[in-house]
Structure 1
Amino acid sequence: MHDPLAQAVAGFVKTPSAPAAPDSLSAVPSPSRPDPDLTSILDQALQQNATDLFLSSGRPPRIRRNGLITALDAPSPDRQQILALLPDEVARTTLEQSGSADFAVRWELPEGPRRVRVNLFRHLDGVSAALRPIRRRAPQLTELSLPEDLYQLATFSSGLVLVTGTAGSGKSTTLAALVDYLNRTRPRHILTIEDPIEYEHREIQCMIHQREVGSNVESFASGLRAALRESPDVILLGEMRDHETIAAALTAAETGHLVLSTLHSGSASTAINRIVDVFPGHQQPHIRTQLSLSLRAVLSQRLIPSRSGGLVPAIEKLMVTPAVANGIREGQDHFMRNAMLTGSEDGMITLERSLANLVRDRLIDRETALRTATDPNLLTHLLD
């Protein structure tokens, strides 16, 4: 099998270090190219469409594919091989002082460079590294088994659009697809603030600047404040983690920018409370008012095991109509669920309706849908 990565030369910047004790991290040599065994392992992972590669000293390498962890038929790396991934003295010192280090490396391939995010960390039994190859092409919604009408979420002239879900539910991938749609269809200035960058967007119609927390900006909040002075039309904010970031995002949405972001929330209807509850009680009425004026839509998604053995997304979508905006402002949280139940003409959909569609399209089985549904009785009614 053709092995382009085996021919690759890593573009690492290596800094020589002074002699040290045998167990010191600074005593580990820094090669000018990746270890051939690790290159072969990474190549095997890429050929199997893995999203993540896990290397642990003395253990078989493993990959994450379709959300599941699988062992590779490859030799176990040793401590020296893993530590040799460290690109420079800064990363080496960070690992020694804090126990982990985040960095990006690039492999120069015949078809172009391949960027890989690495988290290298120490643990009870040795050292490990989690590697995530950065995708060079963002997917389209149809490739993700998502409806194309979700592209409308990227067409608002201003406001806040949230994609919510648990960790690993594909939130960042959906946002990447929305940015790709804008890039293909509209001349805009898009600024992204990500941690880490997961897709590299090549400019088509849009001017795109991608910034990474820790490398290009100190934090989401500081990057967002800077973005307001950089004349963007669209700001992709990788995650709304704290009240400072949320406050800055709401300000950006109120001042004529379209802000696309993610939030850890189990459903569209609970996302509002997740945002409001971050703030002290005396600020919450003001935050509700801001949300009622700036929030445009909430898309919640979760990945469901499919009949074919992969994963397929089930969604619910809340569109902020005038009635929904009033419910947000007044704290009538029960109204969000009712709005989705009756708001199909406004483009809303409940999780149960999405699951019923997946069952009818034979993408998932009935039992899986019933286990996933928030309201199994409603789903049963929709299926019968």
Structure 2
Amino acid sequence: MNRERGDWPAWLHGRLSTIRDQGRWRAHREFDAFGPRGGLVEEDGTHRKVLSFASNDYLGLSIHPAVIAAAHSALDRWGTGSGASRLVTGDRPVHEELELELADWKQTDRAVLFPTGFATNLGVLSTLGGPGVTIVSDELNHASIIDGARLARAHVAIFPHGDLPALEAVVADAPGPVIVVADTVFSMDGDALDVVAVADICRRHRALLVLDEAHAVLGPHPTPVDLVDLEVVRVGTLSKTLGSLGGFAACSSAVADLLVNAARSAIFTTGLSPADAAAGLAAIRVLRSPEGAELCRTLRRHVDQLLPGHPSPIIPVVMGDERRAVAAAAALLEQGLLVPAIRPPTVAPGSSRLRVTVSAAHTDDEVARLVGALAALDTEVPSP
């Protein structure tokens, strides 16, 4: 809508009315929960106990005793916050220890911490991109990638989701330096990138590759052989599989030094809290242990209960119409199951859906209960 100078109340009212009329109204809701499985959800002033299939805490590490203990210990030693940006106040020892562990886990020279995964993509793309650079991005990439590419002031080329011939054609035709960026698991469809094939395209055309591995708990897990002879930045988050908060870029020493000196989303913001860093460090150590391998096997089993062979714990049930998706989520909530309805602009118009996520913290019986409830909705879980 047009807005007259200074007529902000009318513009705000009009914008909000448009959102309501489109059936896209959202509001935060209270959810008093311990871990990913469930808790008390507030609806219209009353609280209801629900089983949640909405969390990205895929292994339940946010409530792991070792992770909680590490956060407590960090609070006792360093307090609640970092005080200022890392370059101003310096790191606590746990920040450096975490970066070393991340680099070892991802098999890169270095890793650089950011306060969130969103801030990591903003920092990586705006630092490595710029005028004269072409950023080639999958059309279903996360919003943080989209915004990072915009901030880079580079030329941005979008290729159809998962279309490798189209990707190669765009990369081959780009006139200058090229960055290819993609999620390795896409957050709304739960499908996986062919990392090896994309890496081969980048290798042939000497493109830099940025992989966002935020949801890749079950893979893909590229090896150094898959990524040999490439400049690669592996973006990750502490906020999902690792049950804490924060983001990181695992990369070469040269890229790490550049991010420390030029990434505005790290330089001009307060550093990650010591407690979050300590929790993330403990969670990685659990993940890399035999216990972590067993948690991943449990998660794999739960995914296969819903959709055998699906590559991730994100399972979309596409309803199409926005109101139908909202009604389905409400019907599940009446049965004590919290499954979010995802609508535009998060997904494209006409593809509104239920976004089911399972966790290793769920039991087999709880997942079976969800399967039965979805079957009664007169809809289908997609084929793998």
TM-score by length of 1: 0.35
More strand by share: 1
TM-score by length of 2: 0.35
